[in-house]
A and B are shown apart, each in its own frame.
Chain A
Amino acid sequence: MNQHPSAPVSCLPALLAVPLGAVFMALSLGSESQGLVFGLLLGGSMGLGLAHHLGWLDRAGCSAAAWPRTFGGAVLVAVAGVCLWFHDDPFVLFLIATVLVYTLACFGLNIQFGFVGVVNFAGASFVGVGCYTAAILTKHTAIPHLLVLLAGGLAAALVGSILLIPVLKTRGHYAALVTIAFALLFKIFLEVNDVMGGPQGLKSSGLKVLGWDFNRDVSLGPFEGSFYLNYVAMILALTVLGFILARRLEESWIGLKLDAVRLDELGGACFGLHVPRWKITAFTIGNFYCGVVGAFFAMMLGYIAPSNFAFGDSLILISIITLGGLGSLWGTVAATAIVILLPEKFQILQEYRFLLYAALVIVILLFRPQGLLPRPLRRYAMLQRDGS
């Protein structure tokens, strides 16, 4: 694509695609029968295939890329719309919240893995650090809950920075070693340790922000909804914030430096790139995301246990970002939806989850390593905006 396209790209194709997607999601989420969902999926896939064949998918993609803010806004409105549609269905709302939780955590992992190239096989463990921080702080202190979210992020960032020290001087596989060891040991450590509740885990209080109790059903005039609506709103806001920050990071000098580290450290060093600094920065920011997610998740669930943070869970996170496309934020959104929602709708899949996703990643890496929605070239959207 030229820097100065001869004809301006319309935002219509993207804006048309969004409500279609929203309706599809609403239908899929709402239907109880597995047969209907299967039919929807089949129909949806065929529809996508047709759209691809007609070139509509590409046009929608170009459109979305040319109008990122409009597209993002439209998606946000659509998601909010779907949430409001299910305002009194706690199960669906919980599901949506879970998808957003995983998405935000995977944004963090994408900053580590997709941007700077540091592997982190302990993503779930860092989420766990955030969870336990929140559980402990809410039970034993009166710290306002928004600050607890922050504390969860900071705790995860701190633990991560300790782990990172041996990694900095070494090659990629050592980062893998350290994070795998941490992932395996985190669960063991928690289970053996009665201070943190042992295998039974810990209880956490629900979220309360500025007097608004998130565990109370919503009742605003004629409007009534499940209390999960509160949580969905919060995690949606956090996810949007996380997306914007990650995007800004990517489309900046720092994003460029992170890419240089990932692609060729030595070449970068010859142009002054201080490699350890950027590995630390990205690793820490990514873990911060995971920690905040964890703190939120603990308060939403009300209860956490070590079995939630096993090695397999970290691998699911890795599967998501690989499936979506390393370094691709929208890809992560799409992949998370697929990975979390499918087993919920098709109960048979639950048991085979790990196997299926591992196999899927293998297939992706062999045949489409760039993922579902490959990370686009950095074009510095802000430059394009006023037609420079």
Chain B
Amino acid sequence: MDLALIAQHVVNGLMLGLIYALVAVGFTLFFGVLDIIKFSHGDVLTCGVFTAFAAFLGLQVLGLESKPLILVVIGVLGMAGMAVLGVLIARVLVLPLKGAPALNVLLITLMLGTVLRESIRLFFPDGANPKRFPALLPDWSHSWGRFTLRFDNTVLLITGLLLIVGVQLIIKHTKLGMAIRAVSQDEETAKVMGINFNLVVFITFAIGSALAAFAGLVSGLYYNEITFNMGLLLGAIGFSAAAVGGFGNLYGAIIGGFLFALLQTVGAVLLPFASAYKDVFAFGIIIVIMALKPTGLLGEKETQRV
């Protein structure tokens, strides 16, 4: 096993981990604020990247040439669009079900995910087939021996990490973040303290959904391909990552995301004859971890009140 191959695996793993972590952070934010699992999250990711793709096609028609500009525009549109979608979901589906058993929210968001996914498949032109996502970052690269470091991957990685750090800073050091944390810990007291509960929920959903859109964009740029059901597996992985880290725990979600990517990479290396098994392997390990540490590696937030 030579160094170049290892380095390649590492870069690949980091990219995957970044995508998963971005999705997982969304899951954990939603759980933190509302004690709910929003299963449509993976499909919001798909919507986000398809929105970006549609924007790209639109810009092409308009004749826009500058790739960096296109990238920024579609990125912003995708993220903003999903932020709006996130707020709508919170407003129409999640908040009205606040008193209902948790299973209902689980179900309704799962079904929403299906609606989003099927809508893309049925109504996006030729939605059932994979689409080639444009390469909008310059393809400069530098090689050291047999290891090639690509500029576009590096940019994605750095931007993604900055975003995650940014969200983390917001949560830890701003008033908004404090409001989010207050609502996570004790909704009633937070309301009594004058925090606008609904607003905090909307903002949280907006942030989480925008992150998902970004993750979708990263995925599209990295793999140069998007499909209508890419969100399904990504959502399941993001969910398990958040679970393994401990729901409600931001660091847990990030660690969980990178851990899952690590497991997948290890799995692919150990079982080169069937790379499909890498998913089975990774999920299997996650399930074992959950069996051993039911509240996640870093501990889930306590929600019971006796």
Contacts and interface: CB of A to CB of B under 8 A. Distances in A.
Direct contact of A and B (CB under 8 A): yes
Contact of B104 (A180, A266, A351, A369): A369
Contacts of B295: 170
Contacts of B101: 117
A355 B107 contact: no
B61 interface: no
B306 to A, nearest CB: 7
Interface string A185-198: 10011011000000
B247 interface: yes
A359 B111 contact: yes
Contact of B106 (A119, A319, A369): A119
Interface range, A side:
35 or more
A315 B114 contact: yes
Interface in A355-388: 355, 358-359, 361-362, 365-366, 369
Given A173-B243, A176-B37, A192 B108 contact: no
A131 B277 CA distance: 22
B115 A355 contact: yes
A189 B306 CA distance: 43
B269 interface: no
Contact of B236 (A180, A322, A365): A180
A340 B300 CA distance: 40
Interface stretch (B65-73, B146-154, B197-205, B283-291): B283-291
A177 B290 contact: yes
A191 B277 CA distance: 11
A358 B102 CA distance: 18
A166 B291 CA distance: 4
Size range of the chain B interface in the assembly: 35 or more
Interface stretch (B15-23, B50-58, B80-88, B92-100): B92-100
Contacts of B97: 365-366
Interface string A148-188: 00000000000000010110011111101110110011001
B243 A366 contact: no
Nearest to B114: A358
A369 B100 contact: yes
A335 interface: no
Contact of A366 (B96, B279, B280): B96
Nearest to B304: A266
B141 interface: no
B4 interface: no
A172 B96 CA distance: 20
Looking at chain A's contact residues, the main secondary structure is helix
A173 B247 contact: yes
B214 interface: no
A113 B304 CA distance: 22
B46 interface: no
Contacts of A223: none
A318 interface: yes
A165 B294 CA distance: 11
B163 interface: no
Contact of A358 (B111, B233, B277): B111
A94 interface: no
A318 B279 contact: no
A183 to B, nearest CB: 9
Contact of B114 (A171, A355, A369): A355
Contacts of B107: 318, 322, 361, 365
B258 interface: no
Contacts of A166: 287-288, 290-291, 294
Interface string B265-293: 00000000010110110010011101100
Nearest to B306: A266
B236 A178 contact: no
B240 A177 contact: yes
Contact of A119 (B103, B236, B274): B103
A166 B288 CA distance: 7
A178 B37 CA distance: 14
Interface in B101-152: 101-104, 106-108, 110-112, 114-115, 118-119, 122
A174 B111 contact: no
Interface in B216-250: 232-233, 236, 239-240, 243, 247
Contacts of B306: 266
Contact of B122 (A169, A189, A351, A362): A351
A181 B243 CA distance: 13
Contact of B287 (A172, A178, A322): A178
Nearest to A178: B287
B93 to A, nearest CB: 7
A172 B280 contact: no
B139 to A, nearest CB: 32
Contacts of A181: 236, 240, 283, 286-287
Contact of A169 (B102, B106, B294): B294
Nearest to A181: B283
Interface in B178-222: none
Contacts of A165: 291
Interface of B: 37, 39, 93, 96-97, 100-104, 106-108, 110-112, 114-115, 118-119, 122, 232-233, 236, 239-240, 243, 247, 274, 276-277, 279-280, 283, 286-288, 290-291, 294-295, 300, 304, 306
15 contacts: A163-B287, A166-B290, A166-B291, A173-B247, A180-B236, A181-B283, A181-B287, A184-B232, A184-B236, A189-B280, A266-B304, A312-B114, A315-B110, A351-B122, A361-B108
